[in-house]
Structure 1
Amino acid sequence: MKKLATLISAAVVSVSFSATVMAQDTIAMVVSTLNNPFFVTMKEGAEAKAKTLGYKLIVLDSQNDPSKELANIEDLTVRGVKAILINPTDSDAVSNAIRMANRANIPVITLDRGASRGKVVSHIASDNVAGGEMAGQYISDTIGANAKVIQLEGIAGTSAARERGQGFMNAVGKNKMNLLASQPADFDRTKGLNVMENMLAANPDVQAVFAQNDEMALGALRAVQASGKDVLIVGFDGTKDGIAAVNRGILGATIAQQPALIGALGVETADRVLKGLPVEKNIAVPLQVITKS
């Protein structure tokens, strides 16, 4: 009986030790939505890097819902993950989730979209302001002076929408373009289609559209094709669908991010943090204008 008790005790210790080791090797990624090719590619980049570095990666989908996002973070604090990569649904609303992770002493790294409050060890993203300016400059260079333009905005409250819009408006002012209208379509293809249909009806003389992501650009493209108008459309993100549309000559251009690299850098940064190595507060990922080759 004494020998059996000793064996049971050893087994319990072994299980406890194994669970601790697993927790040490586990990091998490919380994505605003996996119903968007850009974030799917970001996830894939993170998964590949986690495999290379020997981490177990948990990926949770917030379904564009801040309350779901908060529940995801709460779940991860209970699981005892060692670092959290988060792509916020909303830069303001995510603050409560980040503070929850802060209280649990779990380092947080934001991807693509920043957070208004809470302690974040590093933010990894493209320069969205520069990207918006690149889109506006491309439109001006292509259409010429006094171009009549429309903007499709992303989800209000996200840093990506705010910064891309800021950059585009910088280009509008610099190049003396005429902004006919600017409305949100929430980074969504179907909403991009519906909003663009209404905006085309209200602004029949529009010459170009800047959509703050490729999904909205592709929705706008369907609306433009149905109208029979000749309108230049520029997207943002450089997704597979967006680049394919550019190469077919039906989308004017896309400002290409590198989502897989953003995900991979997130995991690399988490690895450095967990090893006690210094990391940059802001890590910029290069952008480029993709046009038909």
Structure 2
Amino acid sequence: RAFAENHNLKLVAKETGNWKIDEAYQVTKKIFTAYPDITVLFCANDMMALGAIKYLSESNKKILIASYDALADAKIAVKAGSLAVTVDQQAKKQGYEGIALAVRGLNGEKLPDVMLVDTALVTAQTLQ
């Protein structure tokens, strides 16, 4: 939905690297062979972003890459400038809220239909 709402973006490909570095490397190679002028890449997780970064680095391509998870290696890539941003989904808070909801449910309380946990954008500036 976010991509559709931003008229400055044109979605040219949608593939999966199955959350693996090596598969994301191959998928990135395939996508950039078909669409060499891509300037932005969004990866659904950091592992796939790391595979994309490896391919793009070897190909001497510099583009903006964003991903999800805020893993330690992704934070290093953000600091190095090879990853523009990663999104921290706050997994600990998600787990805590899930357990809290389960306890409330076991106690017979009415539960909300949806429980959202805020995310945090991790950039070079936020890592300083």
Query: C-alpha displacement at 1:229, in angstroms?
Result: 0.9
Q: Does 1:170 align with 2:4?
A: yes
Residue 94 of structure 1 corresponds to none
Residue 204 of structure 1 corresponds to 36
C-alpha distance after superposition, 1:131-151 (max 9, x if no partner): xxxxxxxxxxxxxxxxxxxxx
C-alpha distance after superposition, 1:103-123 (max 9, x if no partner): xxxxxxxxxxxxxxxxxxxxx
Query: C-alpha displacement at 1:255, in angstroms?
Result: 2.2
Distance between the aligned counterparts of 2:12 and 2:102, measured in 1? Answer: 44
Residue 290 of structure 1 corresponds to 122
C-alpha distance after superposition, 1:186-217 (max 9, x if no partner): 23222111100111222222111111111111
Q: Percent same amino acid among aligned pairs?
A: 28
Specify every segment of 5 or more residues in structure 1 that has no aligned partner in the other structure, as ranges. Answer: 1-165
Query: C-alpha displacement at 1:247, in angstroms?
Result: 2.0
Distance between the aligned counterparts of 2:77 and 2:25, measured in 1? Answer: 15
Report SS of the residue matched to 2:13. strand
Query: Which residue among 195, 206, 220 is the counterpart of 2:27?
Result: 195
Distance between the aligned counterparts of 1:180 and 1:274, measured in 2? Answer: 46
Query: C-alpha displacement at 1:268, in angstroms?
Result: 1.3
C-alpha distance after superposition, 1:20-75 (max 9, x if no partner): xxxxxxxxxxxxxxxxxxxxxxxxxxxxxxxxxxxxxxxxxxxxxxxxxxxxxxxx
> What is the aligned length?
125
RMSD of aligned alpha carbons: 1.7
Distance between the aligned counterparts of 2:4 and 2:69, measured in 1? Answer: 19
Distance between the aligned counterparts of 1:241 and 1:268, measured in 2? Answer: 30
Residue 92 of structure 2 corresponds to 260
1:67-146 equivalence runs, <5 A: none
1:204-283 equivalence runs, <5 A: 204-283=36-115
Residue 38 of structure 1 corresponds to none
Runs of 4+ in 1 over 6 A off after TM superposition: none
Distance between the aligned counterparts of 1:193 and 1:260, measured in 2? Answer: 29
Report SS of the residue matched to 1:206. coil
TM normalised by structure 2 equals: 0.85
Query: C-alpha displacement at 1:273, in angstroms?
Result: 1.4
TM normalised by structure 1 equals: 0.40
C-alpha distance after superposition, 1:8-27 (max 9, x if no partner): xxxxxxxxxxxxxxxxxxxx
Report SS of the residue matched to 1:255. strand
